[in-house]
Amino acid sequence: MKLRHSIDTDHIKVDTQMTPMIDVVFLLLIFFLVTFKIVSQEGDFDITMPPPESSGTPDFTAVAIVVRMTAGPNGELDQLIYKDQAIIGNSDEARFDALQEQLFNDIENIGPEAKASAEVEIDYDFDLHYGYVMTAISHINGRYVNNQLVDMVEKIRFTRHPEDAN
């Protein structure tokens, strides 16, 4: 019976080749740099929200401007109310434009100190689609006059309803 010689593994040297590893690292770096997309910040709305742990109505200063939005049976905008009067229009966009026009005229007629501290409270139905609330915020926040953005109201808050607490 013949015994085979075993290979002595203590003397075998395994070299790690660094060149392919560096190539892979540079390829990954180039890939991530090329595919990286910088997202621009959308809008900076100064929205005052009540703290989540508070119960009851938050303590705010008196609000003179209230916009009320009621929902229809499927969550569509049913009524848009400003100064206790429904805003009438042929479409939702026409009603929001009319709201913006009325609000712009009211904001322009108050003094500069009151204009800087003007605050709008949006009172909406719980079932209203969020897109209508976002459209209202856009129309309340500012408007374009002669291709120039004119800031109208920077402070916007929402009415807290009991069904929102869930």
- From first CA to last CA, the distance across the chain in angstroms is 84
Residue 147 resides in a domain: yes
Tokens of 124: 């909406």
Residue 109 resides in a domain: yes
Residue 52 resides in a domain: no
Residue 8 resides in a domain: no
- What CATH number has the domain bearing residue 118? 3.30.420
Residue 69 resides in a domain: yes
Q: Are 87 and 95 in contact (CB under 8 A)?
A: yes
Residue 3 resides in a domain: no
Residue 111 resides in a domain: yes
What pLDDT is recorded for position 108? Answer: 78
Mean pLDDT value of segment 41-46: 66
Mean pLDDT of all residues in the chain? 79
Q: Kindly indicate the confidence band of residue 50, based on its pLDDT and cuts at 50, 70 and 90.
A: low
Mean pLDDT value of segment 10-25: 85
Q: Kindly indicate the confidence band of residue 61, based on its pLDDT and cuts at 50, 70 and 90.
A: very low
Domain extent at residue 154: 63-165
Q: How is the beta sheet containing 65-71 ordered, strand by strand?
A: 46-48, 155-158, 119-124, 65-71, 77-82, 85-86
pTM: 0.57
Please list, in sequence order, all residues whose beta carbon lies within 8 angstroms of the beta carbon of residue 120, skipping any fewer than 6 positions away: 63, 65, 66, 67, 103, 140, 153, 155, 156, 157
Number of domains in the chain: 1
What pLDDT is recorded for position 64? Answer: 67
Q: Kindly indicate the confidence band of residue 55, based on its pLDDT and cuts at 50, 70 and 90.
A: low
Residue 27 resides in a domain: no
Q: Kindly indicate the confidence band of residue 62, based on its pLDDT and cuts at 50, 70 and 90.
A: very low
